[in-house]
Structure 1
Amino acid sequence: MSKKTSLGRQKILIEKIQKKSHLQVTFSKRRSGLFKKASELCTLCGVEIAIIVFSPANKPFSFGHSEIESIIDRYLTRNPPQESNTHQIVEAHRNANVHDLNMQLTQLLNHLEIEKKKGEEIDHMRKARQRKFWWECPIDELGFYELLQLKVSIEELKKNLGKFASKCIMELSNMSSPNIGFQYGYF
């Protein structure tokens, strides 16, 4: 079975497409891309755009921002745009909404940063606690150096317990009551 190879993203010669089905597919994709770019231009630059495109089947498609009729009328009569109070009010309201949303976003990002720091502190404390009580881990989970440290710590503990036991015995034997050691079960 032969593997079907794809042409992928290759440079396409700019010439009229002869096949009707390919022509329609290409038109649909390019039309949506054109309208998307026009919308981005309106959003980024605040321009007014009117685009009219006829499909290979002579079906009209249009895109307009703000209203396609007013833009075409302005173009045909060569009149400058009429600034209306409504447009200014809508623009001011939109800018206020954008400002409010930006403030909310900033607050949420600050809150997120604080929570991340708290999480890091908790994680750091958890790791410190694990390091502090590393000897409580199962022995087979300890590495070579941790096992050596455990051995040294146990030997140190044994030595300290021996000293402490000797000290307790000495204190008990130095007490005036001879029965005190037997009374508490030390001997």
Structure 2
Amino acid sequence: MVRGKTQVRRIENATSRQVTFSKRRNGLLKKAFELSVLCDAEVALIVFSPRGKLYEFSSSSMEKTIDRYIMHAKDVNINKKSREHNAQQLKSDAASLMKKIERLEASKRKLLGENLESCAIEELHDLELQLEQSLSSIRNRKYQMLEEQICRLKEKEKILTASIQEKLNAEPRLQLCAPAVSDDYDSQNTDVETELVIGRPGTCKVK
């Protein structure tokens, strides 16, 4: 026979309610004991009857279990409050950063010459001073960079000049010298005799 599902609601009859309480109470205490033994769990069970009678079960010590529960509940509450505080702090920081970004963007637009209609004369004067200071800083930086570039170029020029001079000193110089003419050669050329023979062989020679 299939057992139907029992509807859970308050039992109106007092006698039946007391009998059901006694049966369910014993079963609940038994389940708590089995849970503590089988699973090595720390279990504490407190039950008050409709008449105010106390029934309890503890696997170790009721006081220690209750103290442990209180400490755990405090830690949970502290962590919860800490998370809520951190969330609120993050929201506040985000809102502050958004306002700061909006102010910076408005200041940037004014420096670019936009949205100047709402500016007073004093604010326009301050913007002019800021632009002049920025322009002066930009010029100083530009001149500094130009001077550094000129110094680097001069150093490079010195290095190249020294390298070229070193190469020129290392190469052998060409010496153009005319060949010397010896005195013996001149005397031989001047002492050459020319013999001219006129007439038949055996006649006199003319020098």
TM bracket (short chain): 0.3 to 0.5
If you compute each CA radius of gyration, which structure gives the higher value, 1 or 2? Answer: 2
After TM superposition, the score normalised by the length of structure 1 is 0.36
Higher relative contact order (CA 8 A, sep 6+): 1
